[in-house]
Amino acid sequence: MGKGPLSGVRVIELAGIGPGPFAAMLLADLGADVIRVDRASAAKPGRATGGSDFTNRGKRSIAVDLKSERGKEVVLGLVEKSDILLEGFRPGVTERLGLGPDDCLARNPKLVYGRMTGWGQQGPLAQSAGHDIGYIAITGSLHAIGRAGGPPQVPMNLLGDFAGGSMYLVVGVLSALLESKTSGKGQVVDAAIVDGTAHLTTFIHGFLAGGMWQDERGTNMLDTGAPWYDVYETSDGRHMAVGAIEPQFYAEFVRLLGLEGEEGLPGQHEQGRWPEMRERFAAAFRTRTRDEWAKVFLPSDSCVAPVLSLREAYDHPFNTERDVFVERGGQKQPAPAPRFSRTAAETDGVPVLPGGQSRDVLTDLGFDDVDGLLESGAVVQS
């Protein structure tokens, strides 16, 4: 449907919540024709199904009664005309619906069948309910996030659902799609949030194995243990983020903060004096507002940036210059990423699912007896 490197690739998304829809949105952002299959019971004729759920942007929709034989045949008909299918149900659900991997691959042997779960398709927790916070807890990732002496801090649901889940599902299905061009065969991709989240911590596990990381939060270089990798409150109650790791960047940070050459300032790696250093930094930051400090530090090689709220980020000049956020339908949302030199992603497309698409999708894909499918209730004009 859209422009981008995946133009010509068709994706069927069995509607769900969270990481599955986000993965499908990313594929749509990259130019794939994504058709979201909604449950007929969740759709009402003529009603738009997108609203402010931006993960539905750039997709087409069709509402199907998955429990009816005719509805199941509609989905299998879509499978025959598609390259990728994404589903995020508990293990065994699509099999019971007659839409599992065996059913779909029998109709389209080249299909890449992507499965998104929290715990994976097998294992003692496979059939258990869960959410991001539990998935990242069991991998050790949650334990590592927070300040020394305090409880673990929840990083919203970015780390598990979207980084450990959606992104690994996308990498998996695109890798399988690339392989299918050579082998002529599709396959099943099992993307579990626990697997992806654990994989994301590979760098930290390397530090741990090398004795350069303590298995105690808030005591290490990258977890606020070091005073030159932390956030500091400014005079107006806002914050600046400091990540001055390398010596040359640290030196620039100290200079711009106004502490260069100041008597008694501990050396960067005098870990025993880090509490003293932290207080010196904190006292300096409290002398100006966040925006005043931002003018001091940006642009520079100090690796310091203002901490912006979600709404503030829309209008920050560094974001507006690169069009990091776009406005579609009167609503601000993050622009598609990454960017390509020849096959630019579509940023002017439909921001969310419009209503009334079921008939159009069936007609466009060449289904027979569209009126009959709608009259039977196997498909609903959503």
**Which residues belong to the active site?**
131, 161
Dihedral angle over CA of 235, 241, 247, 252, nearest 10:
-50
Are 382 and 356 contacting, i.e. CB atoms less than 8 angstroms apart? Answer: yes
**Helix 274-285, helix 247-257: angle, nearest 10:** 40
- Separation of first and last alpha carbons in the chain: 19
Are 20 and 116 contacting, i.e. CB atoms less than 8 angstroms apart? Answer: yes
Q: Would you say how long the chain is, in residues? A: 382
Give the bridge partners for 36, in sequence order.
13, 61
Identify the three-state secondary structure at position 211.
coil
Omega of the bond leading into 19 within 30 degrees of 0 (cis): no
What secondary structure does DSSP assign to 249-306, as a single string? HHHHHHHHHT-TT-TTPPPTT-GGGHHHHHHHHHHHHTTS-HHHHHHHHSSSSS-EEE
Number of helices followed by number of strands (H, E) in the chain: 15, 12
Strand-pair category, 239-243 with 10-14? unpaired
Q: Which residue has the tokens 């992104």?
A: 167
Are 313 and 319 contacting, i.e. CB atoms less than 8 angstroms apart? Answer: yes
In angstroms, rounded to a whole number, what is the distance separating the alpha carbons of residues 210 and 213?
A: 8
Would you state the structure tokens that stand for residue 127, as one six-digit string? 């059939």
Report the run of H or E that residue 1 belongs to, with start and end. none
In angstroms, rounded to a whole number, what is the distance separating the alpha carbons of residues 362 and 364?
A: 6
Backbone angles phi, psi at 26, to 5 degrees: -60, -40
Are 291 and 306 contacting, i.e. CB atoms less than 8 angstroms apart? Answer: yes
